[in-house]
Amino acid sequence: AERAAGLSAERVKLSVAWSFAVKKSIDGKVEGPGVFGFQDVVAVVADPSLAGYQPRSSREQLQEAFRTRWVHGLNTQAQWGFVNEVISRDYARFEPTPWFIGEYGANGQPKSVIRADLEGMQLAAEAAGSSFAGAVMFEFQTSYWKGGSEKNF
């Protein structure tokens, strides 16, 4: 679509924020929270037919867009220490592609935990050689209008 419109998008990145649920990747090579989705993208870029997808771009163009523009992402309500441990354990397989938290939820956590999580994320994002790019805070206040457990989302 960008090519057809004559647009240049060198600085625009692309991402999908996957669930932090434990799932198996589309190619069966990876199982785990978040990383299943990272592998789904890697696998489908290599072989779009795995997802029943027929790209309009050439395979080379698709792979170049992935290599230069893709950022892996996940959503989570888990504490940073746990998320970092789980993702970092096997992330080398996805490097040099960066990753980020698209929705950091801090479900029911006290201020001290949220502060520690955010400070830990900041340190990780600033660390030399880190693949972690940062996080997006999901909500800054409770959505009382949603009611029930939906107040957490």
Q: Model-level pTM?
A: 0.87
| DSSP code string of 86-99 | HHHHHGGGGTTS-E
The pLDDT of residue 9 is 73
- Summarize pLDDT for 52-105 with one digit per residue, the tens: 999 988 999 999 999 999 999 999 989 999 999 999 999 999 999 999 999 998
The pLDDT of residue 148 is 72
State the Cα–Cα distance between residues 137 and 118, nearest whole angstrom: 9
Q: What residue has token string 């600033």?
A: 126
CB atoms near residue 25 (< 10 Å): 20
State the Cα–Cα distance between residues 113 and 126, nearest whole angstrom: 20
Whole-number mean pLDDT of the chain? 90
CB atoms near residue 136 (< 10 Å): 12
Do the Cβ atoms of 130 and 95 come closer than 8 Å?
no
State the Cα–Cα distance between residues 153 and 133, nearest whole angstrom: 23
- Summarize pLDDT for 8-52 with one digit per residue, the tens: 777 788 999 999 999 999 999 999 999 999 999 999 999 999 999
- Summarize pLDDT for 76-86 with one digit per residue, the tens: 989 999 999 99
Torsion of CA 75, 80, 81, 87, to 10 degrees: 30
